[in-house]
Amino acid sequence: MEAWQRFLDYVKINTQSDEDSGSTPSTACQQVLAKRLEEEMQALGLERVRREESGYVYGFLSASEGFENSPCIGLIAHLDTAPDFCGENVQPRVVENYEGGAIDLGHGRVLSPEQFPDLKEQIGHDLIVTDGSTLLGADDKAGIAEILTACERLITEKIPHCAIAVCFCPDEEIGHGAALLDIPGFGADFAYTLDGDAVNELNYETFNASAAQWEIQGVNVHPGSAKDIMVNACLVAMEINALLPTEEIPAKTEGYAGFFHLTDMSGSCDRAELKYIIRDHDEARYAARQEKMRQIEKEINARYGQGTAKLSMTEQYRNMACVLKDKMEIVRRAERAMEKAGLQADIRPVRGGTDGAQLSCRGLPCPNLGTGCYGFHGPYEHISTQDMEKATEIILNLVTEK
């Protein structure tokens, strides 16, 4: 089976995660895909296949003769899709032999090269797109499909290879990622996540990342007698946001530049809530961003009374470069795998996170590779069947190098 054929089946299973769930996996639907993958891995002939109550699915391929002294390489992708946009009842379609220009997705949405310049490189490809009403789920079901297709080829074509450990994880999109991945049981010497966009993308630098939540308690009285008494929680929330640097938001930053990103806001005069994510590649600047939030909390409480604003910050992941800078041979291995597939590696920092960030800091070095997907987390998500095949080829090159 080709990777894109697997992918078309996987995306029909809704696996959106839920950051407010408090359980792992955060949604029961992720276990539906996990069970499906468990059964598929067993049918393909992978060894030591197991699925845990937490939603993690593991498999293994022993080293071929002649590869006994080679490292065991891990291959990782995540089960969940982002909660940012509808992920239920996904109806993918294939635009064969894309000729360029705009694609009418439906529901008033158009996929155009003006918004997504990668389309100019996709002419002649068969594009998998949405119907405009949901996300596609290529992040990261494309990675899953590519890993299992590579495993199937290794088995059916009897291609010699090193030992391979496979894991599919829940809840990457909500910052949980690989927190419960059983590294000793996984058994890999190092690993790669398949969770990037361009098929030749290679990442070993990520943001340092925190989530920040503000709870704002107002004083609500009748507006006719509110002078010097009322504290409008919504207005205080607006003040908090105004105290952050206006240019340091995702829409105005790129490359290594960090940001504060307001993801959610709600409230009334009596009570309000703000949710942010804080990101920066540089450790010192990251710490300064966290301190900026703390200083705002002090300033607001000094202005309106202690207890008006309560700030909670939770660390999500760290820049994996702090580990991988001393493990560059595994990055070079990925470069060689891409070169063998006729591609030049595009090494760039991730303006986001991968399971590899957590894993690297937990002791399993884990760069990130592209899947061929673009337009993550929304109705404009798209991927070509040819790029999925190329990603599969890169995986095969990774695990067949002696």
Q: What residues are labeled active site?
A: 80, 172
**Predicted pLDDT of residue 64:** 97
Identify the H or E element spanning 383.
strand 382-384
3-state secondary structure 208-234: EEEEEEEEEECECCCHHHCCCCCECHH
Q: How far is CA 37 from the centre of its chain?
A: 19
Q: What is the pLDDT of residue 94?
A: 97
**What is the average per-residue pLDDT within 349-376?**
91
> Among 38-52, 258-272, 310-324, whose mean pLDDT is lowest?
310-324
Question: Strand pairing of 164-169 and 309-317?
Answer: unpaired
In order of their start, the domains of the chain are 3-206+319-400 (3.40.630.10), 208-316 (3.30.70.360)
The pTM of the full predicted model, rounded to 2 decimals, is 0.87
pLDDT of residue 321: 92
The per-residue pLDDT for range 185-239, each reduced to its tens digit, is 999 999 999 998 999 999 999 999 999 999 999 999 999 999 999 999 999 999 9
Burial of 350 (0-12, 13-18, 19+ CB in 10 A): buried
Q: What's the pLDDT at 289?
A: 98
Residue 177 pLDDT greater than 80, yes or no: no
CA distance 354 to 177: 7
User: Using CA atoms, how far apart are residues 260 and 212, in angstroms rounded to an integer?
Assistant: 10
SS3 366: coil
For 380: left if phi > 0, alpha if psi spans -120 to 50, otherwise beta; the answer is alpha
Residue 353 reports pLDDT greater than 80: no
Mean pLDDT of the chain: 95
Length of the chain as a residue count: 402
The token pair at 376 is 């993550």
Helix 385-400 × helix 3-10 angle, to 10° = 110
Q: Write down the pLDDT at residue 20.
A: 86
- Supply the pLDDT for residue 218: 96
Q: What is the pLDDT of residue 171?
A: 93
Residue 223, pLDDT score: 93
Whether the pLDDT of residue 31 is over 90: the answer is: yes
C-alpha dist (Å) from residue 349 to 115, 203, 248, 258, 352: 22, 6, 18, 12, 9
Rounded average pLDDT over 362-374: 95
Give residue 179's pLDDT band: very low, low, confident or very high (50, 70, 90).
Answer: confident
